[in-house]
Structure formats: structure tokens, C-alpha cells
């Protein structure tokens, strides 16, 4: 970790638990990753506790039984805990793919200890200092639930449903503001909704009522542990906005959630759109898809995920609730987005070129239609810089500077390693980082588009991309790069905007050599880094993967899920959402 980029303020902690009911196949880790990313973008650091994949613990118990488990519970515990270790590693791999800065911990690394029966032990302690150190420079920490160390047996398990207990214990020990148990139902019901369709969902119920009502859903030991710690538990479904809160106070029955799948039009299925498509088809309960707009549908014969069309009218047919634009360009996508908004659809886009060029028109279109226009992925890819500025703006932003073009940074990293310029560009294209015309990356146009959007978010001012001075990456010649390296410096493409005393904004995209100690100098390959300085002198750093399919698709899909949640609460067509447009 680069100390210059250590978080400047403690982020609130949230504990998420993914049980076997929602981790049923390997594909479910993508949904779990999207859920974790949602909390990261809300500004939380996430402790993720995972169960084994569904069926795996049963299989391990059967294996232990076949090997004579009855004789030795402690040996059985050693075997049956392995599903959780595998699951934690799979979750860590998924977060790495998304670009979420995460660490996977084994229980012994934070001295997590339990006492009692090796197959039904109770958690008693962990080393808080080691946990704090593990959380310091990451956005998420992943741990296997259900298991812990034990003074006599070495390793034990916590009984059926023990991952719930692990989650509650971590929330209490780490001072988390919430613990959310993600299940295959959206809360605790008055009766089993599978048996009784008239069963009603609680919004809130107290610990005693939860013990009675949630038999089999929440581990009783976990409820008791929450009561002892005065901690609130949320029971929720993957991606849901609502939850049942287990907390002191009278029981409250929740209003029914009127969800129907949203009709979605996806425009573009390249590096970004294809990842978004994977997310959409993983939630057929939430989304029905129109034919996807591409230029050359004839090349998609083998892609069975969706129907494809080159006809925008077909892609936008049947009054979609939501249009996702991932095609690139300016005039055509802007026109399609305006048409979608006017037709009553919410719009999500990753297209900074169209946004920067048509910002006022698109915002006005959203306002007039009372629809949402969301574009988290347009700056920073998976880095939550626009979300952070939204939270920081009212504290007074003085400046934002950053490495904000992943392709440019990738090219400079490759040049420093001795690659030829054109080879580095071609590699960035192959990896899905570059714009359709990579000269937008090379000449700083893409960074200028992003800077123009950052200026609007940070200062509420209009500085068109064309008014921002730029330098070309080609200025970083091999000789200058070698010279910088000999001085202990590294070339970066740096976008910077700052508020001047007269209220105007200065902005530039420069290609410059930075000392290695500079907060932006450590960005490698497609990484983006941003440093936001506030009027109170505080400095806030954001960094992560700034380009590529999965980080960008995660940011687009997080916007999509925001809209799906808002529509589920209020009914898709009646949602009063203009305030956020």
C-alpha cells in the first residue's frame, strides 16, 4: 500500500453474510460481488462472511461419516470447514475481477477463537488490532464463516447456520454499523411464504419474535449474540433495497413490494455491454431484455444470451423502463438517450464523450421526463469517484487531480517496461481498455471529457472538454521515460482541475514525470487514481481499476440496480425520481 493513499478518514463498516442459499453455483459469486460493490460505492468498508457453496457442507459431512466421523467430532470439524475456505477464495477472486480492493483472511490470521463442542462451538475472541490492520488499506475483507481456532482442538465449527454467528460476532467486535444476512428470501415472514401465500413480511421484529418466527432462517445463537451486543441484524435478499430488521421494539409488518421485471434495452455489447449483459441475464426475476443493439448482429450467431439487432427501433421497442447505453460515440447515443428519456425510460450510460458534449440537453431531458440519468462508470470505471464527490461536494472541493485514463496509464506502464508505443496501444485495445478510436486515449481527449464531468460534479461549473489544455502521450518518448527513471521519476497522464480565488476553474491534462513518492505515481497499468482536496484541508484518495469489462460493468450494473430498487418500491412508472436526474 502506498502510504500517500491511505484512507484519510475511517469509512463506516458493514458486515455482509452470503449463505449457501444464495451461493448455489459459481455464477452466484458475480451477484455477491455486485452486492459488495454496492456497499463500497456507498462509502462503506465491507467485511464479507461466506458460507460454503450450497450442498458442499452436506457432502463433506457425508464424507466424514463414511470415514468414521462418529468417533471423532474434532476431526469431522477439520473436514467440514473446508467448503467455507474454498468459498472465501472464490469470493476474493470475484472481487479482484471487479477491481474491488480486497483481502481474504483465514481465521488464524486474526486469531479468531471459539470454545466448546468442536461441531457446535461459540466464538469468544479475535485480535482486533490484526483485523484493523487488515482493513486499513482495502475496501473489503473476506472471511470463511462457520469455523474458528480452538485452544484444544486447533480448529472447530460453529454448528449449522454458524456463518450467521460469525457475521454477528464480527459486526459486534469491529463496531460495524450494520450486519446484513443475505438469504434466498427478502426477510422474515409471519409464516413460510412457500407454504402460505398470505404470509406477510416483517419490516422489524425483536429478538424474541425473531427466535420464534425465523426458525431455520437465522441461527438462534446468532440472534442471541446480536441481542447481547445490542446489534441490529438485517435479513435481505440479494440486491434488495428492503430488509427485515431484527432490533428492539414492536413488530412492524412491511408494505408488500410490488416488483415486476423491468423491460431493459441494452445499446452496445462490446467490452462493457457484454459484461452488463451477463449481469442482466443473471437476474431474470428483475429484468426482461429487448433485442440488444449492435452494429453487426450477423457476428452474434453463437451468442445465445440474447437476441441482437442493428435496428435501434427494435432495440427500443415496447416502451422499455430502462435503457443502458454502452455503444460509444456522441451524436447517435445522445440522440437515443434523449429519445429513451422522452419515452419515459430511465437511462444508464458509461459514455463520457456523449455526456461531456451533451450534458445540459441530457440533464434537461431527464428532468423534463422525470426520469433518472445515471453515469457512475463514465469516470474512473469501477473507481467510485463520482459517488465520493457527491458526498464531499458540500464540504467545499478545492481541487481534483488524477490519473483518469486507464489506457494512457497502461501504455505508459508498458513503455517504461520497454514496449514499443504501437504495441502498447494494440495490447490496450485487445484487453478492452481503449476507446473505439484509441487516439482519444493517446491525445488526452478521453481524460478531458472526464475532467469536464468532474468539474461539474465538484464545482457545478461548465468547462467544455475543448477548453481544457491537453498534452499527447507521445510526448513521453523512450528517451524522456528513461531519463525520468534515472531520476527516480515516472511519467503519468494527469488531469487536474482547481477552483481559483475568483471562482473560475483551471483545468489541464498533462503528461508529466512525477517523483515515486507522489500519490499518483504508483498507479500501474489500467489503474486510475484520484486525489480530492477539500477546503478544510482534508485529502481524499480513490483508486482502483479504471477501465476494462468487469470493473466498468460493475459500476453500470450498480446504477441499474439503484433504479431497479427505486422502481420496486414505488412501481416502475410512478417512481418520482427526478430529484436525482
The least distance separating ligand HSE from the CB of residue 546, rounded to whole angstroms, comes to 5
From 525, 523, 514, select the one nearest 415 (Cα to Cα). 525
CA distance 435 to 433: 7
Nearer to ligand HSE, 395 or 474 (CB): 474
Pure H helices in 13-66: 28-41, 56-66
Q: Distances from the Cα of 258 to the Cαs of 138, 198, 261, 382, in angstroms?
A: 37, 15, 10, 31
Pull the grid cell for residue 499: 477552483
In this complex, which beta carbon is closest to ligand NDP, that of residue 173 or of residue 374? Answer: 374
Q: Residue 294: which of ligand HSE, ligand NDP, none does it interact with, CB under 5 to 8 A by kind?
A: ligand NDP
Contact residues: ligand NDP, CB under 6 A? 268-273, 293-296, 310, 326-329, 332, 350-352, 377, 381, 432-433, 435-436, 547-548, 552
Binding site for ligand HSE (CB under 6 A): 381, 405-407, 433-435, 441, 446, 546-547
Alpha helix segments (H runs only) across 370-444: 385-392, 406-416, 421-430, 439-442
Angle between helices 162-174 and 220-229 (to 10 degrees): 10
Which residue, 113 or 457, has its beta carbon nearer to ligand NDP? 457
* Residue 308 DSSP label: E
Please, what is the minimum distance in Å from the beta carbon of residue 449 to ligand HSE? 9
All cell numbers assigned to 67: 470415514
118 binds, among ligand NDP, ligand HSE, none (CB under 5 to 8 A by kind): none
Which of ligand NDP, ligand HSE, none does 254 bind, CB closer than 5 to 8 A by kind? none
Q: How far is the CB of 442 from ligand NDP (least distance, A)?
A: 14
Closest to ligand HSE by CB, 147 vs 405, is 405
Cβ atoms < 10 Å from Cβ of 537: 7
Name the binder of 295 from ligand HSE, ligand NDP, none, CB < 5-8 A by kind.
ligand NDP
Write the secondary structure of 510-558 as one string of H (helix), E (strand) and C (coil).
EEEEEECCCCCCCCCCCEEEEEEEECCCCEEEEEEECCCHHHHHHHHHH
Query: In angstroms, rounded to a whole number, what is the distance separating the alpha carbons of residues 63 and 331?
Result: 62
Q: Which does 407 bind (CB under 5 to 8 A by kind): ligand HSE, ligand NDP, none?
A: ligand HSE
Nearest residue relative to ligand NDP (C-beta): 270
> Which one, 90 or 468, has the nearer CB to ligand NDP?
468
Residues 6 or more apart whose Cβ sits within 8 Å of residue 74: 118, 153, 154, 156
Q: State in angstroms the smallest separation of the CB of 75 from ligand HSE.
A: 51
Q: Classify 49 as helix, strand or coil.
A: strand
Q: How far is the CB of 449 from ligand NDP (least distance, A)?
A: 8
Please identify, using beta-carbon distances, which residue of 291 and 406 lies nearer to ligand HSE.
Answer: 406
If the CB atoms of residues 219 and 552 are measured against ligand NDP, the closer one turns out to be 552
Q: How far apart are CA 268 and CA 310, in angstroms?
A: 10
String of b and e for 7-39 (b: at least 16 CB within 10 Å)?
eeeeeebbbbbbbbbbbeeeebbbbbbbbbbbb
The listed partner (ligand HSE, ligand NDP, none) that binds 269, CB under 5 to 8 Å by sort, is ligand NDP
Q: Which residue is nearest to ligand HSE (CB)?
A: 407
How far apart are alpha carbons 32 and 17 in whole angstroms? Answer: 10
Strand order in the sheet with 244-246: 102-104, 140-144, 45-50, 13-18, 178-183, 233-237, 244-246, 202-205, 252-253
Distance from C-alpha of 418 to C-alpha of 353, rounded to nearest angstrom: 31
Sign of CA dihedral 230, 181, 96, 378: negative
Per the structure block, which three cell numbers stand in for 433? Answer: 481498455
Kindly tell me which of 33 and 406 has the beta carbon lying closer to ligand HSE. Answer: 406
Q: In the complex, what is the shortest distance from the CB of residue 271 to ligand HSE, in angstroms, rounded to a whole number?
A: 8
Are the C-beta atoms of residues 549 and 272 closer than 8 Å to each other? yes
Kindly tell me the sign of the dihedral angle through the C-alpha atoms of 455, 458, 461, 462.
Answer: positive
Residue 562 CB, nearest approach to ligand NDP (Å): 18
Q: How far is the CB of 462 from ligand NDP (least distance, A)?
A: 21
405: partner contacted, choices ligand NDP, ligand HSE, none (Cβ within 5-8 A by kind): ligand HSE
- The answer to whether 17 is a known catalytic residue is no
Residue 432 interacts with, from ligand NDP, ligand HSE, none (CB under 5-8 Å by kind): ligand NDP
Task: Look at residue 441 and give the partner it binds from ligand HSE, ligand NDP, none, a contact being a CB closer than 5 to 8 Å depending on partner kind.
Answer: ligand HSE
- The residue from 17, 183, 450, 492 that is catalytic is 450
The residue (of 19 and 381) whose beta carbon lies closer to ligand HSE is 381
Least gap, CB of 39 to ligand NDP (angstroms)? 21
* Residue 228: exposure state from Cβ atoms within 10 A (0-12, 13-18, ≥19): exposed
Q: Among all residues, which ones are annotated catalytic?
A: 450
Amino acid at each position: 500500500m502506498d502510504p500517500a493513499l491511505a484512507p484519510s478518514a475511517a469509512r463506516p463498516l458493514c458486515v455482509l453474510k452470503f449463505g449457501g442459499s444464495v451461493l448455489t453455483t459459481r455464477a452466484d459469486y458475480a451477484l455477491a460481488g455486485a452486492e459488495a460493490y454496492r456497499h463500497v460505492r456507498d462509502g462503506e468498508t465491507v467485511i464479507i462472511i461466506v458460507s460454503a457453496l450450497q450442498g458442499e457442507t452436506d457432502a463433506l459431512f457425508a464424507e466424514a461419516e463414511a470415514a468414521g466421523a462418529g468417533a471423532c467430532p474434532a476431526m469431522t470439524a477439520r473436514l467440514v470447514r473446508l467448503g467455507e475456505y474454498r468459498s472465501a477464495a472464490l469470493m476474493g477472486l470475484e472481487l479482484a475481477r471487479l477491481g474491488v480492493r480486497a483481502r481474504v483472511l483465514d481465521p488464524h490470521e486474526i486469531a479468531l477463537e471459539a470454545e466448546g463442542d468442536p461441531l457446535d462451538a461459540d466464538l469468544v475472541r479475535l485480535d482486533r488490532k490484526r483485523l484493523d490492520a487488515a482493513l486499513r488499506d482495502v475496501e473489503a475483507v473476506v472471511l470463511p464463516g462457520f469455523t474458528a481456532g480452538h485452544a484444544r482442538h486447533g480448529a472447530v465449527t460453529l454448528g449449522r447456520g454458524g456463518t450467521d454467528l460469525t457475521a454477528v460476532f464480527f459486526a459486534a467486535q469491529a463496531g460495524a454499523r450494520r450486519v446484513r444476512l443475505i438469504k434466498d428470501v427478502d426477510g422474515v415472514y409471519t409464516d413460510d411464504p412457500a407454504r402460505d401465500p398470505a404470509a406477510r413480511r416483517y419490516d422489524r421484529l425483536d429478538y424474541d419474535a425473531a427466535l420464534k418466527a425465523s426458525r431455520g432462517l437465522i441461527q438462534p445463537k446468532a440472534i442471541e449474540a446480536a441481542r447481547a451486543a445490542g446489534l441490529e441484524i438485517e435479513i435481505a435478499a440479494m440486491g434488495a433495497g428492503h430488509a427485515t430488521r431484527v432490533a428492539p421494539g414492536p413488530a412492524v409488518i412491511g408494505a408488500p413490494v410490488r416488483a415486476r421485471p423491468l423491460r431493459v434495452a441494452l445499446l452496445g455489447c462490446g467490452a462493457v455491454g457484454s459484461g452488463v449483459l451477463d449481469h442482466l441475464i443473471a437476474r431474470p426475476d428483475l429484468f426482461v431484455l429487448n433485442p440488444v443493439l449492435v452494429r453487426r448482429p450477423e457476428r452474434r450467431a453463437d451468442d445465445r444470451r440474447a437476441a441482437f439487432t442493428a435496428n435501434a427501433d427494435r432495440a427500443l421497442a415496447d416502451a422499455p423502463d430502462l435503457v443502458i447505453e454502452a455503444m460509444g460515440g456522441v451524436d447517435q447515443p445522445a440522440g437515443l438517450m434523449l429519445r429513451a428519456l422522452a419515452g419515459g425510460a430511465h437511462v444508464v450510460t458509461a459514455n463520457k464523450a456523449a455526456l461531456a458534449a451533451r450534458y445540459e440537453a441530457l440533464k434537461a431531458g431527464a428532468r423534463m421526463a422525470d426520469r433518472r440519468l445515471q453515469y457512475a462508470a463514465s469516470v474512473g470505471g469501477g473507481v467510485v469517484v463520482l459517488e465520493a464527490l457527491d458526498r464531499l461536494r458540500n464540504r467545499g472541493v478545492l481541487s481534483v487531480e488524477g490519473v483518469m485514463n486507464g489506457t494512457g496509464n497502461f501504455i505508459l506502464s508498458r513503455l517504461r517496461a520497454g514496449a514499443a508505443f504501437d504495441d502498447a496501444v494494440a495490447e490496450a485495445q485487445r484487453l478492452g481498455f481503449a476507446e473505439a478510436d484509441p487516439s482519444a486515449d493517446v491525445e488526452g481527449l478521453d481524460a478531458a471529457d472526464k475532467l469536464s464531468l468532474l468539474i461539474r460534479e465538484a464545482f457545478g461549473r461548465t468547462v467544455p472538454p475543448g477548453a481544457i489544455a491537453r498534452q499527447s502521450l507521445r510526448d513521453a518518448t523512450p528517451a524522456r521515460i528513461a531519463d525520468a527513471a534515472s531520476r527516480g521519476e515516472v511519467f503519468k497522464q494527469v488531469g487536474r482541475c482547481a477552483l481559483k480565488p475568483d471562482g473560475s476553474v483551471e483545468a489541464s491534462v498533462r503528461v508529466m514525470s512525477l517523483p515515486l513518492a507522489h500519490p499518483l505515481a504508483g498507479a500501474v497499468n489500467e489503474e486510475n487514481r484520484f486525489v480530492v482536496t477539500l477546503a478544510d484541508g482534508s485529502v481524499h484518495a480513490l483508486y482502483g481499476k479504471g477501465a476494462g469489462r468487469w470493473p466498468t460493468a460493475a459500476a453500470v450494473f450498480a446504477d441499474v440496480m439503484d433504479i431497479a430498487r427505486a422502481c420496486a418500491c414505488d412501481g416502475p412508472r410512478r417512481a418520482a425520481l427526478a430529484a436525482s436526474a
